[in-house]
Amino acid sequence: MTMHIPDGFLDPITVTFTYGLFLIVVAIALRRVSEKIDPNIISTMTVTSAGIFVAQMLNWTIPGGTSLHFAGGALAAILLGPWLGVLSMTIVLLVQCLVFHDGGITALGANVLNMGIINVFVGYIIYRTVIKLLGVKSSSRTIGAILSGWAGITLAGIACGFEIGFSPQFPYGWQISVPVMGIWHAILGIIEGIITAIIITYIGKKNSELILAERGV
């Protein structure tokens, strides 16, 4: 369920706007994290980034010529909280873009905005809400993580639809691209939710102190 936008898809206004948002949010994240920085949390963040990077390399091929892979934005948000989650996903997306050309350089702002910011914040808010409503227990972790993974991917897909839809290269406008991307990612997001839930439920049983979103970070 990847949505790495390549170069050539976005118009200059969208490129400028998404880069602006990306730089502002990452600057805020760096500032907030550096205020109460803890080397142990940095190592959790690094391992989370590395795990998400590798998980994104595992494409589950679907006969018919497409595939999906785990995206990880909601997982990062639940494990690390929103600001470290944003930084964790930004590191993954930077390495993918700069080293492997997975996602365009002009689209880096948009890709971080979708997968690193929107996905992370939506995932975080949903998980926190479910935990607040149902209490901290294994079943609420499972439900929270499924919804968080699903909604994060779906909204990131919708945002991606808007960005592509605003491109003058795209002949039909966002009225077509938004539903196409939204519906597609809402379907693929179910699997993202299930994988997120398996990982979070497992960590919740073994090392629940690692789930920073439950500590209100």
Partner 1 sequence: MISKKATLIIAALIVISPIFGVILADLVGYHEPLDVAAEMLGLTDITEQMNWTPFLDYTVPGLPATIGYIVSGIIGVSIIFLIGLLLSKFARGS
Query: Which residues sit at the interface with partner 1, rule CB under 8 A?
Result: 1-9, 34, 37-39, 42-47, 49-51, 53-55, 57-69, 91-92, 95-96, 98-102, 104-105, 160, 164, 167, 169-172, 176-177, 180-181, 184, 188, 203, 206-207, 210
* Contacts for 148 with CB less than 8 Å, ≥ 6 apart: 74, 77, 78, 122, 123, 124, 126, 127, 130, 193, 196
Alpha-carbon distance of 145 to 124, in angstroms, equals 9
CB of 86 to partner 1, least distance (A): 14
Element (DSSP H or E) covering residue 66 = strand 66-68
Any idea which residue has 């639809």 for tokens? 161
CB of 64 to partner 1, least distance (A): 7
Q: Which is nearer to partner 1, 66 or 129 (CB)?
A: 66
**Angle formed by the axes of helices 73-80 and 174-206, to 10°?**
40
Q: Which is nearer to partner 1, 40 or 135 (CB)?
A: 40
Q: Which is nearer to partner 1, 79 or 143 (CB)?
A: 79
Q: Which is nearer to partner 1, 135 or 206 (CB)?
A: 206
Q: Which is nearer to partner 1, 19 or 170 (CB)?
A: 170
Residues composing the chain: 217
Neighbours of 61 (CB within 10 A): 10
CB of 133 to partner 1, least distance (A): 28
Among candidate residues 152, 182, 154, the one with its CA nearest the CA of residue 78: 152
CB of 182 to partner 1, least distance (A): 12
CB of 160 to partner 1, least distance (A): 8
